[in-house]
Structure 1
Amino acid sequence: MRRSFGRPFVVGVLVIGIVLAGAACASEQTPRPAVDVTASPAPAPRGDPLTTVTTIIVRAEALDLADAAGSVVKSLPYDLPPEKVVDALSVVIGGEPSITPFAAGLEAPAGVTYSWTGLRLTDFLPTVGNFPGYSDFQLDVTRGVIGDGVGIETAAGKTVGHEIIGVAKGLGLSVDVMFVSVGYAFVLVDVGPELATPAGENVTYPNAWAVRASSDSASGVIDHISAPVNLSHWVS
C-alpha cells in the first residue's frame, strides 16, 4: 500500500531545502577585507614665493621682486593700494614696518610713513585738486641691502653708495645740479612714458614718473633712491 503525502508536508520539505541551500552558499562566500578609513594626510602648504625674493628692483612704473635666478616673482605697480605693497614688502624684508602719520605742509600732503631700516614707503593722502605731482605712495631707499640680505637697486643695477657721476655717465646723462646749493644733486636713472595727466610748470623735466638717484653733492655717492617722482611739478 502506497503512502500518500499531503500538501503541507511537501511545502515543509521545500522550505527546509531552501534554507539549507542558502546556508551552504553563505558559508562558501569569501569574507570582504576591512575598509581602511584612515584619512590621507593633507598636502603640506606651499611656501610663500615672496620669501624667495633676493632683490628689489626699483623701476619707473613698478617695483619688481626678483629671486636669486633673476626671475621676477612679483611686480608691484605704483597704482596698487599702498597697503598691498606694504604687505608684500613685509614678507620680503622679513619684518613689519614702523608706522608714523604726519600732517600736511605747504609743499606736501598729509600721509603715513611705513619704515624699515633702509627703506621708507610714504602713503600720501592728497586732497582733490592739490599736489598733482604726488603719486599714491613713494619709496625712499637709503641702503643698498635691507632686511635679511635683500638687495635693492635700479633697473640698471645701481644702488645707494655708488658714485653719482659714474652712474650718470654710464646712462649717458649728467648730474642735475640745480639744487646743489642746498646739498641736493640728482639724476633721473629711469623715466617712464609720458603721462596723460597735465604736466606741471617745470618744463625742464618730463611729465612722467621716474626714478631719482640723489646725493648731497655733485661728486658724492648716491644716498637716496626715490620713486615714483614727477619733477615737472617741481618749483625751480
Structure 2
Amino acid sequence: MNRSASKFTMVGLMVSGILFAGTACASNQSGADSAAGPAGDVAPSSSPGPEVDPLTSVTTIVVRPEALELMDESGSLVASLTYEDPLAAMLGALSVVVGEEPATASYEGGLERPAGQTYSWAGLTLTDYLPPEGKFLGESDYSLDFTAGQVGDGVAITTESGSTVGDDMDAVADELGLSVNRDFASAGHLFFLIEVGPELTTPAGDNIEYPNAWAVHVSSTSGSGVINNIGAPVNLSHWVS
C-alpha cells in the first residue's frame, strides 16, 4: 500500500469528519434556538387555580344513626359528619353543601323539650339544644330534621336503606320488616326507627320498648301516610309517651 496516499486519505477523512461534526452541531444549535424562540422569550408558567372545597362535590346526604355521610355523584364518601362534631363544624359543612347560610331562631323550652336555637335551610333544620343543668340527659347536643327529599341545588336526602321524604310509610316499613308506631295515629302521627346504631354504654332511659342507642327516626305527620320527616340522632329509650 502507498503510505503517502494512505496518509493523505486519512487526513482527508479526519477533516471531513470535523467539518461534518461542526455542521451537525451548528444545525442542532440552530434548531434549539428556533425552538426556544427569540432571545429573552420565556414561556409563561401556569399559575395554580383556586382550591375547590371537596364538599361542593356532594350530591347526596345519607342520614345515619351516628353521622351524616356525604357522598359524591360516583357514590364515593366525601366526608362523614358525626353528631359529636362541634356545632360550628357541622353548620359550616352543611352551609357549603346546601350553598347558603342558615336562618337562625331561638325558642323556649318546656316539660318535653329543652330550650334551644334552630338553624334552618329549606328542607333542613338543625336544632341546638340548651337544656338546664341535669335535665334532658337523653338528648343529643343537637339534632337534624330533613323535611324534603332534596336540599340546596338538588342534593338528595336519603336513609341508609334508600328511603326518603315522600315515600309511603307503611310500604317502607313492610319492605324492611319493621313496625310502624300507631300510638298517635288518631292525631295523624306515625313513626318508626328506620336504622338503629350500636348499644350505648351510657345509662338507658325508662322506656324499655326502645333500645338505648342512637337511631334514625322517620315520621308522617300530615295524615297522608307518607314520610315527611327524617330525623337523627334520637334515643327513644329516654322518650316518655
TM-score, with structure 2 as normaliser: 0.79
Gaps in structure 1 of 5+ consecutive residues: 1-33
Counterpart for residue 110 of structure 2: 105
Q: Does 1:168 align with 2:179?
A: no
Counterpart for residue 51 of structure 2: 46
Deviations 1:112-133 (A, max 9, x none): 1000000000011123321012
Of 117, 123, 127 in structure 1, the residue corresponding to residue 132 of structure 2 is 127
SS in 1 for 2:111: coil
How many residues were matched structurally?
203
Could you tell me how far apart the structure 2 residues matched to 1:218 and 1:187 are?
15
Counterpart for residue 26 of structure 1: none
What is the aligned-residue RMSD (CA, Å)?
2.0
Kindly indicate whether the alpha-carbon contact (under 8 Å) linking 2:143 and 2:232 is maintained by their aligned counterparts in 1: yes
Q: Percent identity?
A: 59
SS in 1 for 2:91: helix
Larger radius of gyration: 1
User: Residues 37, 104 of structure 1: CA spacing in aligned structure 2 closer, same or farther, 3 A cutoff?
Assistant: farther
Kindly indicate whether the alpha-carbon contact (under 8 Å) linking 1:165 and 1:219 is maintained by their aligned counterparts in 2: no
Of 78, 82, 87 in structure 2, the residue corresponding to residue 77 of structure 1 is 82
Of 45, 57, 62 in structure 2, the residue corresponding to residue 57 of structure 1 is 62
Gaps in structure 2 of 5+ consecutive residues: 1-38
Kindly indicate whether the alpha-carbon contact (under 8 Å) linking 2:222 and 2:228 is maintained by their aligned counterparts in 1: no
Kindly indicate whether the alpha-carbon contact (under 8 Å) linking 2:81 and 2:90 is maintained by their aligned counterparts in 1: yes
Could you tell me how far apart the structure 1 residues matched to 2:108 and 2:46 are?
53
Could you tell me how far apart the structure 1 residues matched to 2:200 and 2:223 are?
29
Could you tell me how far apart the structure 1 residues matched to 2:43 and 2:114 are?
61
Counterpart for residue 92 of structure 1: 97
Kindly indicate whether the alpha-carbon contact (under 8 Å) linking 1:175 and 1:218 is maintained by their aligned counterparts in 2: no
Could you tell me how far apart the structure 2 residues matched to 1:156 and 1:227 are?
15
Structure with more of its chain in helix, by fraction = 2
Kindly indicate whether the alpha-carbon contact (under 8 Å) linking 2:148 and 2:165 is maintained by their aligned counterparts in 1: yes
SS in 1 for 2:171: helix
Kindly indicate whether the alpha-carbon contact (under 8 Å) linking 2:212 and 2:237 is maintained by their aligned counterparts in 1: yes
Q: How much does 1:50 deviate?
A: 0.4
- In structure 2, give the amino acid aligned to 1:142: T
Could you tell me how far apart the structure 1 residues matched to 2:131 and 2:44 are?
55
SS in 2 for 1:189: strand
